[in-house]
Amino acid sequence: MKRLLSYLKVKRGCAILAPLLKMLEASFELIIPLIIADIIDKGIANENITYTVRMGLLMIMLGVVGFCVSVTAQKFSAITAVYTGTALRSDLYRHINSLSYKELDETGTSTLITRMTSDINQVQTGVNMFLRLFLRSPFIVFGAMIMAFTVDAKAAVPFVITVPLLFLIVLGIVFITMPMYRKVQKRLDLIMQNARENLQGIRVVRAFHREESEIRDFRKSSGSLYHDQIKVGMISAFLNPVTYVIINLGIIGILMIGSRQVNSGLLLQGQVIALVNYMSQILVELIKLSNLIITLSRAMACMNRVDDVFKIKNSMADGTDAFPKQVVSCTGMKSASGKKPSSYKTGSAEIAENTDIRGASVDFDSVTFSYNTGEPSLKNISFHADAGETIGIIGSTGAGKTTLVNLISRFYDPGAGNVTVNGKDLRQIRRSELGKHIGIVPQKAVLFTGTIRSNMLWGNENASTQDIREALRIAQAEEFVDQLSNGIDASVEQGGNNFSGGQRQRLTIARTLLRRPDILILDDSSSALDYVTDARLRTSLRESCRGTTVFLVSQRVSTIRGADRILVLENGNLAGIGTHRELIRKCKTYREICASQMSEQEFAKEAAS
């Protein structure tokens, strides 16, 4: 609730004026029954047409003024609600992006999407309805009861019975439905998760002919949501008929008492009608109030879910230091014509030709890491990578290759041991600095809707067309990009689905190369490439990225055999480290991998060399 109030404070003028103007409108509405009573008792009873017309015009004037006031109030409430929803959604998105992979893995993507969309929409609706009705409806309910006593205390007795009884019923239904609405939102999370997984894996679903099975599972999940919504809807819907019954019983009570008072000469017919009108006003407002409370119940349940995400704190504290420098030689990036450009960008600085740029050595010191509380994915890993060195990483599926490079990028922190860059612990370096100096091409090639140029600018927003074309050339993507009708301005559909897997991988490699990082991580990023293109890519990278520390993760021996050193991982352990020739002689795991990918003659030749 404190978080929600902080947003209302920003628009405090609108948030205060909206309910106050609604109260002003309600005041006009409470005067109307008294005017009607006077028209009946003084105008019609005495056949005074002038008085009747004058009071009728007064009613019209109050209606027009009340309408203008109401429209203004609703405008203010809408402004406040829309601002609250927009600001809350923006802050939640910013907070989610500040979380580490660990928190994102634990929370889940589907529930985060639901809370950013459906839940915040419910909160926005709740704020709008709250500002419009939270003062108006109680004001009319209690105001009508007070006005009834000013008309006749004895005839107003039914008000004393009906109003408290209705409030008790409303509160009881709120306490019952609040936890049920939370359950409904959780069911919605599951449906979002099922839908997301099926849409992302639609090719796999169809490949295994699992459409009917997945449809049955989805119907089961949506059926559970349906039954929960029907259940809570029935309880909520119970409020309106109960309200009508109690109010109508109250009106019957007024008519019984009022008729006796009229026969006794203690009450006029117009006053009885005024009492009935006040009871009808209470009926209308209590129905509004009951719907408001149902809406607020859902909004509060959703706000609690949103607040739960805000309560998740990043377990990885940001560092305070800059990226440590280390000078190494670099020949620079060649242009398409084979000449070196006069300057190029690396990290956030522009480096002139034939100057030295920052390199980065990497050290793992007894590093152990596990996801959540499971079996360690990496166990006591120690190695040193010199600045400008190319390190190949190979191992079977699940050996811990991606986990290792994720620690270098500081997507996760090790459970034990230290990862240092240029002698400084990664935990001491600011994340913004790491992002400038470390470039990673993940296993799954991700492109964003837009153009090839807009995707390339993610790597370096100041990159020129020449810089982009040079990065595409190095990544072996220039040829197919030139064949597109718009070249580097060709459109990219959602997820890059208008490109093949190999094309997406080459574009993501080019995007990262534009950053000119000190540490370049290629996490099995050429798996969709043929052997010839893969070989050309490695040659191009070797020639153009001298001075850059490269971590090359691959399942292919041919991809990593030319690395300065190779790390062989097996079940999270470092099974071997060395060059290709050293490992094929000394490391059993590496020999098994080579034997599975080479012909017998080639393997025998390699082992004997």
Q: What pLDDT sits at residue 355?
A: 38
Q: Where are the domains of the chain?
A: 2-311, 327-334+343-608
The per-residue pLDDT of the chain, averaged, comes to 83
Contacts of 108 (CB under 8 A, 6+ apart): 189, 193
Distance CA 378, CA 403 (A): 8
How far apart CA 430 and CA 321 sit, in angstroms, is 6
Spatial CA neighbour of 23 closest among 102, 131, 121, 107: 131
Region 259-286: mean pLDDT is 80
Strands 378-385 and 519-523: unpaired
CA distance 409 to 412: 8
The reported pLDDT for the residue numbered 359 is: 63
Distance separating alpha carbons of residues 500 and 447, to the nearest angstrom:
12
Beta-strand ranges (E) seen in 25-89 are none
For residues 508 and 522, the answer to whether their CB atoms sit within 8 Å is no
- Out of 68-82, 235-249, 321-335, 582-596, least confident range: 321-335
337 secondary structure, DSSP code: T
- Please give the pLDDT value at position 218: 85
Mean pLDDT of 232-247: 79
Domain 2-311 = CATH 3.40.50.300: no
Contact 85, 124 (CB under 8 A): yes
C-alpha torsion sign, points 413, 415, 421, 423: positive
Instruction: Identify the pLDDT of residue 326.
Output: 67
Model confidence band, residue 286 (pLDDT cutoffs 50, 70, 90): confident
Q: Crossing angle, helix 157-200 and helix 239-263, to 10 degrees?
A: 160
Mean pLDDT of 216-230: 85
Q: Please determine whether the domains at 2-311 and 327-334+343-608 fall in the same fold group of CATH.
A: no
Give the three-state DSSP class for 141.
Answer: helix
- Contact of 247 with 282, CB cutoff 8 Å: yes
Return the CATH class of domain 327-334+343-608: alpha beta
The model's confidence at residue 609, banded by pLDDT at 50, 70 and 90, is: low
- Amino acid 560 reads I
Neighbouring-strand partners of residue 408 = none
Q: What is the pLDDT of residue 507?
A: 92
Q: Of residues 339 and 89, which shows the higher confidence score?
A: 89
The pLDDT > 70 percentage for the chain reads 94
The token pair at 69 is 């006031």
Q: Which DSSP letter does residue 378 get?
A: E
Alpha carbon distance 484, 116 (integer Å): 37
Q: Which residues, in sequence order, are bridge partners of residue 269?
A: none
CB 378, CB 404: distance < 8 Å: yes
pLDDT at 334: 38
DSSP string, 271-282: HHHHHHHHHHHH
Q: How far apart are CA 137 and CA 133, in angstroms?
A: 5
380 phi and psi angles, rounded to 5 deg: 50, 55
Please state the pTM of the whole predicted model.
0.70
- Residue of 429, 585, 595 lying closest to 519 (CA atoms): 429
Asked if 559 contacts 392 with a C-beta cutoff of 8 angstroms, the reply is: yes
Nearest Cα to 489, choosing from 508, 510, 465? 465
Q: Which residues of 52-82 are buried (b: 16+ CB within 10 A; e: fewer)?
A: beebeeeeeebeeebeebbebbbebbbbbbe
Cβ distance 556 to 528 under 8 Å?
Answer: no
Q: Are strands 549-553 and 565-570 parallel, antiparallel or unpaired?
A: unpaired
Measuring CA to CA, how many Å separate 295 from each of 115, 177, 289, 300, 514?
17, 11, 10, 9, 50
Give tens-digit pLDDT for 506-515. 999 999 999 8
Q: What is the pLDDT of residues 10-58, one digit of tens each?
A: 888 898 999 899 889 888 888 888 888 888 888 887 788 888 888 889 8
**What is the share, in percent, of the chain residues with pLDDT greater than 90?**
21
Element at 574 (helix H, strand E): strand 573-578
Q: Are 419 and 397 in contact (CB under 8 A)?
A: no
- Sorting pLDDT into bands at 50, 70 and 90, what band is 81? very high
Helices 12-38 and 136-151: crossing angle in degrees, nearest 10, is: 30
Distance, CA of 348 to chain centre? 29
d(CA 518, CA 360): 6
Q: Which one is predicted more confidently, 296 or 189?
A: 296
Higher pLDDT, 579 or 272: 579
pLDDT tens digit sequence for 109-125: 878 888 888 889 989 99
Place of tokens 């400084």: 424
**Cα–Cα distance, 306 to 301 (Å, whole number):** 9
Distance, in Å, from the CA atom of 607 to the CA atom of 609, rounded to the nearest integer, reads 6
In this structure, what is the dihedral angle of CA atoms 344, 345, 350, 355, given to the nearest 10 degrees? -60
Sign of the CA dihedral with 392 first, then 396, 400, and 405 last:
positive
Residue 445 or residue 350, greater confidence: 445
Q: Is the pLDDT of residue 323 over 90?
A: no
Whole-angstrom distance, CA of residue 181 vs CA of residue 232: 7
pLDDT of the residue at 76: 93
Assess whether pLDDT exceeds 80 at residue 607: no
Numbers of helices and strands, H then E, in the chain: 23, 16
| C-alpha span between 387 and 113 (Å, rounded) | 41
Residue 346 has pLDDT above 60, yes or no: no
Distances in Å between the Cα of 328 and the Cα atoms of 359, 408, 538, 549 are 5, 20, 21, 10
Token duo for residue 324 = 């440590």
Token pair of 484, please?
Answer: 């597109």
Q: Are strands 519-523 and 438-441 parallel, antiparallel or unpaired?
A: parallel
pLDDT, tens digit, for every residue of 355-402? 344 468 999 999 999 887 678 889 999 999 998 889 999 988 888 899
Rounded average pLDDT over 408-432: 89
Which residues partner with 392 through β-bridges?
A: 552, 566
Say which DSSP state 566 is in: E
Two tokens at 415? 């459970």
